């Protein structure tokens, strides 16, 4: 673009109103976020639509929806405002540190990521990783997240996925539990449903393993319901039941004998894979590229993950 060419930009207030309304799909929630009236948001968006000569929202009785043009415009504008916010934060900061906001499951954070993060900080002193832990997948439309480490299926067309690794699932228990039940637990069909330690955000994992063993008539309403694999594995180590293990959570417990594999040779490949995910328009952002490169290197260095990959 020639330097003397003026940019024909809409009002910044109108753009902020549109981005907030598109993110919330609500004029009311956008107004609350921007600390203005709902009428002000409505007027700003109407002015933006008139400026562009386009309809960005379809107004319905119970809410609003983005039109095709609105759907095209929203990610472009969202990315631009994110860049402005990040740049503003950097120049106002006392030190030129780039912040990467990363959402990760709590178990993955505790059992795999945290022990490795010091090496990232040592290599990249100008970057700071801000961790957000959750049991559910990141909501890139509404959450302030740059990237997420997740397990699932790469099926969101708005996201860019970097495959990290695949895993196997297998039942584990404490040595005390195994000794106590050795005579009655010789095959998977002998597992009592009441002893299944279930992770409810990953409710399909146990049924997947059981069905692969030909076991379908299991009452999954029995057994302890836990919010994370860390709790399930810790409960199993205390002899409270049987947990479903998978990499990268289990290496330490197997190595120190806190848990033992119950049915060696009956591991099942998890149909869901691990990914680093980010919005497509941000996949080449410098801070994401730096973290991606480091993360893929760490995965490659994890010998147990590589053994699982070779087995798969």
For 198-214, what is each residue's pLDDT tens digit?
Answer: 999 999 999 999 999 99
What is the Cα–Cα distance from 241 to 239, expressed in whole angstroms? 6
Domains detected in the chain: 12-90 (1.10.10.10), 97-165+272-311 (3.40.190.10), 168-269 (3.40.190.10)
- Decide: helix, strand or coil at residue 294: helix
Task: Quickly state the pLDDT bin for 113 (edges 50, 70, 90).
Answer: very high
Tell me what pLDDT residue 307 has: 55
What is the Cα–Cα distance from 142 to 264, expressed in whole angstroms? 43
What is the Cα–Cα distance from 170 to 267, expressed in whole angstroms? 5
Average pLDDT across the chain, whole number: 88
Give yes or no for residue 7 having a pLDDT over 90: no
Residue 215 CA to its chain's centroid (Å): 30
- CA-closest candidate to residue 191, choices 204, 205, 178, 176: 178
- CA-closest candidate to residue 113, choices 230, 203, 200: 230
As given in the structure block, the two tokens for residue 265 are 């040779």
The answer to whether 24 touches 30, Cβ cutoff 8 Å, is: yes
Nearby residues of 33 by Cβ (< 8 Å), 6 or more positions away: 20, 24
If phi > 0 it is left, if psi is from -120 to 50 it is alpha, else beta; for residue 241 that is: left
What is the Cα–Cα distance from 53 to 149, expressed in whole angstroms? 40
The answer to whether 47 touches 11, Cβ cutoff 8 Å, is: yes
Q: Where are the beta strands (DSSP E) in the chain?
A: 57-60, 63-66, 98-104, 127-133, 147-152, 159-165, 168-173, 196-199, 225-226, 242-246, 260-261, 268-269, 273-279
Cβ-count burial of 126 within 10 angstroms (0-12 exposed, 13-18 middle, 19+ buried)? exposed
Number of neighbouring beta carbons within 10 Å of residue 275: 20
- Decide: helix, strand or coil at residue 138: coil
Q: Measured between alpha carbons, how far apart are the two ends of the chain, in Å?
A: 51
Give yes or no for residue 1 having a pLDDT over 80: no
Number of neighbouring beta carbons within 10 Å of residue 119: 13
Tell me what pLDDT residue 235 has: 95
Number of neighbouring beta carbons within 10 Å of residue 171: 28
- Decide: helix, strand or coil at residue 275: strand
Give yes or no for residue 225 having a pLDDT over 90: yes
Give yes or no for residue 311 having a pLDDT over 70: no
Does pTM top 0.75 for this prediction? Answer: no
What is the Cα–Cα distance from 1 to 8, expressed in whole angstroms? 13
């Amino acid at each position: 673009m020639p330097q003397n060419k003026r940019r024909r930009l809409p009002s910044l207030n109108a753009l902020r109103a549109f981005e907030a309304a598109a993110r919330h799909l609500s004029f009311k929630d956008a107004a609350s976020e921007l600390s203005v009236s709902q009428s002000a948001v409505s007027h700003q968006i109407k002015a933006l639509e008139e400026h562009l000569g386009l309809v960005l929202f379809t107004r319905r009785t119970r809410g609003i929806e983005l039109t095709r043009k609105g759907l095209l415009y929203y990610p472009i504008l969202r990315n631009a405002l994110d860049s402005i916010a990040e740049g503003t934060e950097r120049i106002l900061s006392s030190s030129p540190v780039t912040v990467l906001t990363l959402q990760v499951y709590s178990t993955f954070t505790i059992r795999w990521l945290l022990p490795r993060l010091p090496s990232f900080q040592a290599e990249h002193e100008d970057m700071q990783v801000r961790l957000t832990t959750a049991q559910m997948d990141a909501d890139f439309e509404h959450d302030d997240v740059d990237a997420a480490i997740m397990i699932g299926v790469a099926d969101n067309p708005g996201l860019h996925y970097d495959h990290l690794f695949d895993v196997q699932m297998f039942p584990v228990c404490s040595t005390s539990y195994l000794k106590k039940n050795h005579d009655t637990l010789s095959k998977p069909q002998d597992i009592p449903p009441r002893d299944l330690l279930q992770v409810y955000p990953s409710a399909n994992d146990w049924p997947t393993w059981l069905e692969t063993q030909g076991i379908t008539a299991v009452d999954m309403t029995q057994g302890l319901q836990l919010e994370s694999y860390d709790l399930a594995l810790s409960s199993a180590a205390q002899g409270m039941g049987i947990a479903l293990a998978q990499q990268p959570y289990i290496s330490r417990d197997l190595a120190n004998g806190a848990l033992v594999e119950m049915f060696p040779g009956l591991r099942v490949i998890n149909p869901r894979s691990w990914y680093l995910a980010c919005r497509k328009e941000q996949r080449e952002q410098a801070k994401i590229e730096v973290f991606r490169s480091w993360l893929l290197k760490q995965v490659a260095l994890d010998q147990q993950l590589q053994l699982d990959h070779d087995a798969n």
